[in-house]
Amino acid sequence: MKKPFCTLFMLMSADGKICTGDNDHLDVDRDFPKVKGVREGLHQYYEIEQCQDLWSLNTGRVMAKIGMNEAALDLAKTPVSFVIIDNQPHLNAHGVKALCQKLKQLILVTTNPKHPAYDLSISNLHIISQPVLDLPKLMDCLAVNYQIERITIQSGGTLNGLFLREHLLDQIDLVIAPVLVGGKNVATLIDGEAIHDPKQLDQLGVLKLEACTVLEDSYLRLQYKVIYES
């Protein structure tokens, strides 16, 4: 299988949480700027984010959480392109239009034949339909049909877990915020189904540390290479 080089780039708490609570009203992008001791160094994450790959993979749920369904349609164009996986769907037609307005290219991946994106005709909108989500086939399609060589994964914990189990992650790049969130139902870096058999240990992603950077205001940046057991 041909696939892009996949980097999982995330902001998370010191206890591995990628959200501040267990519902869509709570979100690190909205909430960390309100927390004294966390907000002071938060800018470093966004500065590092600007240096990531020009292709980013995320979910419709995340896009809805950050307000794309209500966003203005006069957003400034960026050089970044997105792959968005959205099955429910979480994005409405307005949200898709807003993303197309903002992005160089938008590839929307869905298993939903009634997704509102099908009713739109926008030059930089591409739709990949799958009967069921198949990440290996999707990565192959992105590499072969769209010539994507590198992509940054910034999705939720469940989808991150699927990337891990399918051995699709090549690099982990984490910015650790100096905060403990807690809560057993709060999304973590890697969620989804746990392994339940010692024979599944090859699904673990062993990490080789490549860089550890102490940032300002008690933030850390950890960069790992993912090594899967053969």
What digits encode the pLDDT tens for the residues 82-130?
Answer: 999 999 999 999 999 999 999 999 999 999 999 999 999 999 999 999 9
Tell me which long-range contacts 23-26 makes (C-beta under 8 A, separation of at least 24).
Answer: 24/61, 24/64, 24/65
């914990």: which residue's tokens? 157
pTM of the model: 0.93
Residue 195 has pLDDT above 90, yes or no: no
Q: In one letter, which amino acid is 197?
A: D
What digits encode the pLDDT tens for the residues 4-37?
Answer: 999 999 999 999 999 999 988 899 999 999 999 9
Residue 230 has pLDDT above 70, yes or no: no
């990337």: which residue's tokens? 163
What digits encode the pLDDT tens for the residues 48-82?
Answer: 999 999 999 999 999 999 899 999 988 889 999 99
Enumerate the domain spans of the chain.
5-228
Is domain 5-228 in CATH 3.40.430.10, yes or no?
A: yes
CA nearest to 166, candidates 198, 206, 134: 134
CA nearest to 6, candidates 121, 83, 119: 83
Residue 205 has pLDDT above 90, yes or no: no
